[in-house]
A and B are shown apart, each in its own frame.
Chain A
């Protein structure tokens, strides 16, 4: 099976958003995409924003400082 990530590589969680918040998911995808960061979103009840470990610090910074997400339920992972 061809997957865009190495199956042996653990993804890292950059943040959590509500599973029901489609707007937050779109903002996250756009912000990280603009920074060239691949993200993998999935979950139930809450969605994890997962990135490659090499992108984790930048993803946290981008999501944690976004004014667009300030009114959304989001938990950015601790450094």
Chain B
């Protein structure tokens, strides 16, 4: 089962190096190290769903990234922080109720994060969009739940943020009373800087 975030790859003309997240190594003439610079984080494609007793929303987090060769030093990838806060955490996830929990730090191997850990090609120089798909949901058989998202991508010089709030409430008869997902303003404001 692929739970390890690191794999070793041989880069041209160099000793074996470790690349974060299982991302394929650059090929042919790529620089030895590369800086990853985030230029935006957005929550998109929000869609409500009900699948049997599970109901909630699907959404994408799209992270715009650019890469440039570093003059020296080690690779400087951007960092993902996926904070969630809920009044009713599921059992056995190690999540503290009503407190911010970094889900990426807790579950880096979850396939939900493949768009960040495995699917980036990291063109250097170049740019790409990393897409992380999440379908937060709850059971209509369980009490109401509020879930907040506070997502950051941090580069060496700049950080970007996206926030949202989901409210799920059953009607007590096996149906849905409330099912909302609101995108909130960035905690860093427009044109967020370092």
Chain A residues with CB under 8 Å of chain B are: 1-5, 7, 10-14, 16, 18-22, 25, 29, 40-48, 50, 73-74, 77
B172 to A11, Cβ gap below 8 A?
Answer: no
A44 to B110, Cβ gap below 8 A?
Answer: no
Within 8 A of A (CB), among B84-127: 84, 90-93, 103-104, 107, 109-113
- Residue in A4, A25, A46, A77 whose Cβ sees the most chain B Cβ within 10 Å: A46
The answer to whether A42 and B137 touch (CB under 8 A), given A11-B91, A73-B1, is yes
The answer to whether A50 and B91 touch (CB under 8 A), given A43-B136, A45-B82, is yes
A19 to B110, Cβ gap below 8 A?
Answer: yes
A44 to B134, Cβ gap below 8 A?
Answer: yes
Does B130 have its Cβ within 8 Å of any Cβ on chain A? Answer: no
Sample 5 A-B pairs with CB under 8 A, ordered by A number: A1-B172, A20-B133, A44-B84, A45-B113, A73-B111
A12 to B138 alpha-carbon distance, docked (Å): 15
The answer to whether A13 and B110 touch (CB under 8 A), given A3-B141, A42-B142, A44-B103, is no
- Chain A contacts for B139, CB-based, 8 A: 40-42
- Residue in A3, A7, A12 whose Cβ sees the most chain B Cβ within 10 Å: A3
Given B53, B111, B138, B143, which contacts A18 in the complex, CB threshold below 8 Å? B111
A2 to B172, Cβ gap below 8 A?
Answer: yes
